[in-house]
Amino acid sequence: MIEQPQIIVIDDETGSRESMAIAIEKAGLSVRTFDDASEALQFLRETSSVRLAVCDLRMPKMDGLGFINAVRELELDLAIVLVTGYGTIESAVEAMRVGADDYLTKPVDLYELRKRVRNLLENRQLKEEVTNLRQMLDKRYGFENLIGSSGAMEHLFERLKVVAPTRSSVLVVGESGTGKELVANALHLNSPRAGERFLAINCGAIPHEILESELFGHERGAFTGAVARKIGKFELAHKGSLFLDEISELSAALQVKLLRVLEERKVMRVGGSELIDVDFRLIAATNRSLEDMVEEEKFREDLYYRLKVVTLRIPPLRERHGDLALLAEHFLKLFCAEHGKPEAQLGAKTLEAMSRYPWPGNVRQLKNTLESMVIFHSGGEIPPQALPPEIRQATSVATGHAPVQPMTGEARTMADIERQAILETLQRTEGHRAEAARLLDIGLRTLQRKLKDYKEQGHYED
């Protein structure tokens, strides 16, 4: 059972002590009083429920400053309001110097006392929530949660550990669903900027005309609908990290402006006239080849070289030999617990079929597939029949015969298997690309790009 937060009031004057206690109790808080600071200190050693102390400065035996010093030496997490009857600047400065969080002068304004106590408790609660959230994020996004023991992932881990503590910009490349934002978070949380903000924005999900305002911010009246000043992501990420996903989708105009920000480390809000200093670490990500886009004159060469100070490639799931079983075990445990389902395991044939599938949607597709299987499974071993139709068809597990348009008589590469899985899913959806992308758990743009490649290679016709 969680203990109710308590306030202690320490004052050797009975009238002052009782009036302050009554005022605080009227705010709905639990209060305990002491006329001796040393007794209060002993009480603090025996309980963890006290969140704030109101302490008089001048008292016999142990005074207010002595109490503060003792609390700090014991490393007790306690907010302290010091009350002084003298009201001099010197005593206030001394109180704040030794560690008081606030101070009041006598005679104490009881309304002001309640206000100060509430503010300190709210600030403390906010700090605790932030700390808890950061711990949750550390657990979710730390290196230990980038699951994998394959050679490809070990290589990535080694590079991550070297790059994370530096100030360098990082370009994260990998197919859709490989976990680029997970890597970006790990970079931030294992860097000197870990205590500051990590902000992420998907450049492909926001219209170009709105994206500039999101990045740079705007002044009131900068354009129709700008009814108030907006602080952009560049400013908000000051001292922290900024993650620009799908950087390849930036318009030519925004590419120029981003390059200027990276070179000058200054931004100007839309409609503004003031240059603002910014200090952030840029982590960019793309599932496209920026080098090819540079050659096609769709991406600025100077910005490309600015971004790729360090390049981290996340291997697709089909290259992570042996990792699928580890990931599957992790996700099964996660989803069984999350959905209140009995423990489940993959049958040997099920795991074999999943290992033969190319997973065009990578880890994201695997995760969603396993969650769906857990939801519809009653526990125990999951058979091959529980796999989605597109996986069963692509791996010939359920039917026992070769899928449509088999490539017999020659070895099949992973690219061949992936192409076949995509084309069969498209055939199953009767050419509906959005539905095929959903089933494969890949982006529609990714599917369209792959189909374009297949068409150029002569493997596909509209």
Tell me the CB-side half-sphere exposure of residue 36, using CA atoms within 13 A. Answer: 5
| Number of residues written out for the chain | 462
- pTM recorded for the entire structure: 0.60
Instruction: Please identify which residue in the block is written with the tokens 């860097």.
Output: 191
Distance (Å, whole) CA 266 – CA 153: 36
3-state secondary structure of 277: strand
Nearest to 374 by CA among 322, 319, 332: 332
The Cα angle at residue 284 between residues 280 and 288, in degrees rounded to 5: 170
Cβ contacts of 384-393, under 8 Å, gap ≥ 24: 384/347, 384/349, 384/350, 384/353, 386/350, 387/350, 387/353, 387/354, 388/439, 389/428, 390/421, 390/424, 390/425, 390/428, 390/439, 390/440, 391/353, 391/354, 391/357, 392/353, 393/424, 393/428
Tell me the β-bridge partners of 218.
Answer: 230, 270
User: 413 CB contacts (<8 Å, ≥6 apart)?
Assistant: none
Helix (H) or strand (E) holding 367: helix 362-375
Rounded-to-integer distance, Cα 191 and Cα 262, Å: 19
Question: CA dist 303 to 15, 328, 357, Å?
Answer: 70, 39, 37
What per-residue confidence (pLDDT) applies to 113?
Answer: 93
Question: Over its length of 462 residues, how does the chain's per-residue pLDDT go in tens digits?
Answer: 344 578 999 999 999 999 999 999 988 889 999 999 999 999 998 887 889 999 998 888 898 888 988 888 888 888 999 988 765 666 667 667 767 888 888 888 999 999 999 888 888 777 776 655 555 544 444 555 578 888 889 899 899 989 999 999 999 999 999 999 999 999 998 899 988 999 999 999 888 888 999 999 988 888 887 778 888 999 999 999 999 999 999 999 999 999 999 999 999 999 988 899 999 999 999 999 999 999 999 999 999 999 999 999 999 999 998 899 999 998 999 999 999 999 899 988 999 999 989 999 999 999 999 999 999 988 789 999 899 988 888 776 444 433 444 444 444 566 777 888 888 888 878 788 888 887 887 878 888 888 888 887 777 777
Phi–psi pair at 360, nearest 5 degrees: -60, -25
What torsion do the CA atoms of 374, 337, 130, 161 make, to the nearest 10 degrees? -70
Q: Residue written as tokens 């489940």?
A: 344
Neighbour order of strands in the sheet with 50-56 = 30-34, 6-10, 50-56, 79-84, 102-105
Give the closest residue to 111 by CA, choosing from 51, 18, 33, 24: 24
CA angle 103, 107, 109 (to 5 degrees): 70
Task: Quote the pLDDT of residue 90.
Answer: 67
Judging by beta carbons within 10 Å of its beta carbon (0-12, 13-18, 19+), is residue 176 exposed, middle or buried?
buried
Helical ranges in 106-192 per DSSP H = 110-141, 151-163, 180-189
Element (H, E) at 380: strand 380-382
The predicted structure's pLDDT at residue 129? 65
Ordered by where they begin, the domains of the chain are: 6-133 (3.40.50.2300), 142-315 (3.40.50.300), 318-456 (1.10.8.60)
Residue for token pair 């490989």: 178
| 92/263 Cα distance (integer angstroms) | 46
Dihedral angle sign, alpha carbons of residues 108, 114, 117, 119: negative
List the alpha helices (DSSP H) in 171-242.
180-189, 208-216, 233-236
CB of 143 within 8 A of CB of 122?
Answer: no
Distance between CA atoms of residues 134 and 238, nearest Å: 18
